[in-house]
Amino acid sequence: MNRLLIIFLLALGVMGSLQAQELDSLRRDTIPKKVDSLAIDTAGARATETRRERRQRERLEREAQEEKQTIFKDSARLALEAMSVRPWKQSLKVPGWGQITNGGWWWLKVPVIYGGFVSAVLVFEFNNRYYRTYRSEAQYRLNNNHAIPPNTNFPYLEAGSQATDRLIAGMDYYRRSRDLTILVTVGWWGIQAVEAYVTSMLKHRWDISDDLGINISPTLLQQPATSLAYQNRPYAIGFKVGFRF
């Protein structure tokens, strides 16, 4: 009797394991089919959408991505940024305008800026005038077998090829100086715009008040240990100055 009961239980266990394996195989077969069908449906939906619908979908996806990366700023922050950017743009348009907007020492900066431009114009005119003089003299000598012009500007130069070469070298020198003056003028324009930007940043972003926290107090200074120092007075009265930035 016990043997029959044990055999019956073993038979039931074997039948249950076989049925479970069949169910697992069926589930494995159905899951990929469902996934494949979903992929086919989404691909078919994207394939059937029009160009306008596709653009709208991409635009919405792009806007959603930008909203995640957007850093929101308050009105005070935006106002400070606008105040910091405005002066250098004004100086690029009109030199000195940004310095006037920043205030402070603008009454000293603006004359210096325009003094630099006036100096550049004078240097340019000087180099250009001498360049033309040397060029006209050199052209006449080259066209007339190195002869001296009737109204020469260089009476100390005699006729000959060496004198013509000296004129050509002088012409090149003044031409280079004239072109360099143009580059320096452009650089001066950029420097005054950079100065307006730096001043606006220091004024609106950092504290640059005139209060440096100067502290002056009396103190005793130790004398150097040399033969010239008085041995009976190792210390001297002095002042200690401290700056707090």
Q: What is the pLDDT of residue 50?
A: 81
Q: Are residues 110 and 127 in the same domain?
A: yes
Q: Structural domain of residue 46, as residue ranges?
A: 2-69
Between the alpha carbon of residue 220 and those of residues 217, 236, 239, the distances in Å are 10, 5, 8
* Backbone torsions φ then ψ of 115, nearest 5 degrees: -65, -35
Is 39 within a domain? yes
Is 210 within a domain? no
Query: What is the C-alpha separation between 104 and 101, in angstroms, rounded?
Result: 9
Q: What is the pLDDT of residue 207?
A: 54
Q: Exposed, middle or buried: residue 223 (CB in 10 Å: 0-12, 13-18, 19+)?
A: middle
Nearest by Cα to 95 from 114, 121, 120, 119 = 114
Nearest by Cα to 34 from 42, 22, 23 = 42
Q: Are residues 58 and 80 in the same domain?
A: no
Q: Are residues 11 and 131 in the same domain?
A: no
Q: What is the pLDDT of residue 92?
A: 92
Domain final position from 29, 45, 69: 69
Domain final position from 51, 69, 87: 69
> And the tokens for 239?
């002042």
Is 111 within a domain? yes
The number of domains in the chain is 2
Q: Are residues 94 and 197 in the same domain?
A: yes
Counting as low any pLDDT under 70, the low residues of the chain are: 1-47, 68-80, 206-216, 221-236, 242-245
Q: Are residues 177 and 198 in the same domain?
A: yes
Q: Are residues 86 and 151 in the same domain?
A: yes
